[in-house]
Amino acid sequence: MSHCSCHDKPQHSLLPAAYRILSITRHTPLEWNFRVAVDFPAHWGQFVEVSLPRVGEAPISVSDYGDGWIDLLIRNVGKVTSALFTLKEGDNVWLRGCYGNGYPVDTLRHKPLLVVAGGTGVAPVKGLMRYFVENPQEIGQLDMILGYKNRDCVLYKEEMATWRGKHNLVLTLDEGEADDRYQIGRVTDRLADMTLSDIDTMQAIVVGPPIMITFTVKMLLQKGLKPEQIWVDYERRMACS
């Protein structure tokens, strides 16, 4: 029988501790990536509580991780995040975590994978996509449908440019004009156009606000996927999507 007890948790997941900001990347005026030096394990799909003394705390998804660091995509939407945007490289932030089970990487390996994400919902699954793009021997066919409000809201542009041609990457916009990089419409419009192969073994990850997840999951079920093949991750801090 599974159990949950705070006494089983390592100390870093219970109390905030100071960690140094290694770098800050400004993807858009409102969305910045903070790379933070850490001494605790992290996995794609988990999140940390980010805080500043006498300011407050906010849950932020781990967008990627490496040896001794994690990436946190933060959107400037309130008191805590506004305070974080005043920091610079070398400053400290306070973290506790990581929390959540993370994505089931072993279950996904060597199977067709479809990722559907919108706006800042791309961040929680970005590191997982990068891993499979860089390690194609670990995955079957990889399809990615990523939606944004407009071109100004697109995240990870430089990395996405290097992914083209390696796997099927579809970037779709709610507003603007289509070209060789972007299509126009919702992620569900692009999913409706897609023919899914190997339905029996395919895995799907859907990340975004509840309404997007509802319609995307409904369409995946209509296309033949079973509920146990679909992994959902609610990203409630959505505005550029």
The 3-state secondary structure of the chain, one letter per residue: CCCCCHHHCCHHHCCCEEEEEEEEEECCCCEEEEEEECCCCCCCCCEEEEEECCCEEEEEEEEEEECCEEEEEEECCCHHHHHHCCCCCCCEEEEEEEECCCCCHHHHCCCCEEEEEEHHHHHHHHHHHHHHHHCHHHCCCEEEEEEECCHHHCCCHHHHHHHECCEEEEEEECCCCCCCCEEECCHHHHHHHCCCCCCCCCEEEEEECHHHHHHHHHHHHHCCCCHHHEEEEECCCCCCC
Could you tell me where in the chain the CATH 3.40.50.80 domains are found?
Answer: 105-234
* Residue 1: per-residue pLDDT: 34
* Residue 239: per-residue pLDDT: 36
Please tell me whether 109 is known to bind a ligand: no
Please tell me whether 74 is known to bind a ligand: yes
How is domain 6-99 classified at the CATH fold level?
Answer: Elongation Factor Tu (Ef-tu); domain 3 (2.40.30)
Residues in the chain with pLDDT < 50?
1-9, 236-241
The architecture CATH gives domain 105-234: 3-Layer(aba) Sandwich (3.40)
* Residue 112: per-residue pLDDT: 96
* Residue 8: per-residue pLDDT: 44
Please tell me whether 84 is known to bind a ligand: no
* Residue 235: per-residue pLDDT: 60
* Residue 38: per-residue pLDDT: 97
pTM: 0.87
Please tell me whether 98 is known to bind a ligand: no
* Residue 11: per-residue pLDDT: 54
Could you tell me where in the chain the CATH 2.40.30.10 domains are found?
Answer: 6-99
